[in-house]
Structure 1
Amino acid sequence: MNAHVNLFHALADPARLRIVEVMRAGECAVGDIVERMEIHQSGVSRHLKILSEAGLVQMRPEGQRRLYSLRREAFEQLDAWVAGYRRHWESRLDRFDAALERQRTATKVAPLEK
């Protein structure tokens, strides 16, 4: 599956997107995420596994705890993918703006001479 599609598929689930939002503040233990979510620990763990398989999060063991953090590389890939579309639409919108300005200038009525 295309890497971008896999990333978007992982983020499409509202619970996983919320987990990513929770993790924006930094590294979190599963228990920290459970406290902020309305999902049991097993559900959070399942979502973290999917996010990990998609390359969005990484896990670091610390004794008995598993600490999860966002992977910068995945979000840089998403940003690069979106940037291509952003350039496309900004270019089109710039041309549209120029066309509107030409139309406004062409339709302005010359002031009446006395």
Structure 2
Amino acid sequence: MLHILLESQRGGRSALPISEIARRAELSRFSASHHLRLLTDAHLVSRVAEGSHRLHSLRMTSFEAIEDWVIAFTSIDM
């Protein structure tokens, strides 16, 4: 799902509804919703209500923090 959201953002769409994410991931809406809830709880994905839809997008600041940690971790001399 993260790759679907990333491709969408690279393509100029900042957020996607669950129905489109589920379709692209070939999952039921229920399964997609469950996965997105976990990613939202982990602060990797943000969710905004727009009318009756819930739109999801990546929280790039979280990925930047992960990248910083990985860089710091891999630069340690062992």
Q: Which amino acid aligns with 2:16?
A: C
**Runs of 4+ in structure 1 displaced over 3 angstroms?**
none
Q: Structure 1: which 5+ runs fail to align?
A: 1-18, 93-114
Q: Which has the larger radius of gyration?
A: 1
Distance of 2:64 and 2:52 partners within structure 1: 31
C-alpha root-mean-square deviation of aligned residues, in Å? 1.3
Q: Structure 2: which 5+ runs fail to align?
A: 10-14
Higher-RCO chain (CA-CA 8 Å, sequence separation at least 6): 2
1:51 aligns with 2:39: yes
Aligned positions, number: 72
Matches within 5 A, 1:5-24: 19-24=1-6
Q: Which has the higher strand share?
A: 2
TM-score, normalised relative to structure 1? 0.59
TM-score, normalised relative to structure 2? 0.84
Q: Which has the higher helix share?
A: 1
Q: Which amino acid aligns with 1:31?
A: S
Residue of structure 2 in register with 1:78 after alignment: 66
